[in-house]
Amino acid sequence: MPEAWVYILRCADGKYYTGHTTNLELRLAEHRSGEFDGWTRHRLPVELVFAQEMPDQDQAFLAERQGKKWSRAKKEALIAGDWDTLRWLAKKPKFRK
């Protein structure tokens, strides 16, 4: 199976972009050059702040879709590797203590 990646970029305006790819180095080069036509093109430069290898492209796609729905706080906890905060943020607000 081909390797696949889910990744998060921090854009020049401070916003995050979540994506997936089978070639992380190529995709980053495309984002950074503005060659990748899309959301990041007008938010250059971009910085890779998180990347995780996934078992296959389907799993990477599912992780991207899930990550796009996450709050900024949740993405920042993931980027920081702060698993306690990430678990806390995953709870519904009424169950957070």
What is d(CA 3, CA 36) in angstroms, rounded to the nearest whole number? 20
Indicate the domain borders of the chain.
4-70
Has domain 4-70 been given CATH number 1.10.3470.10?
A: no
**pTM (2 d.p.):** 0.91
What is d(CA 92, CA 33) in angstroms, rounded to the nearest whole number? 39
Mapping DSSP to helix (H, G, I), strand (E, B) and coil, where does residue 91 land?
coil
Along the 97 residues of the chain, how does pLDDT read in single tens digits?
Answer: 568 999 999 999 999 999 999 999 999 999 999 887 788 999 999 999 999 999 999 999 999 999 999 999 999 999 999 999 999 999 988 888 7
C-alpha separations of 19 from 6, 79, 94 in Å? 6, 14, 30
The helix-helix angle for 83-90 and 72-80 (nearest 10°) equals: 150
Task: Compute the radius of gyration of the chain from its Cα atoms.
Answer: 14
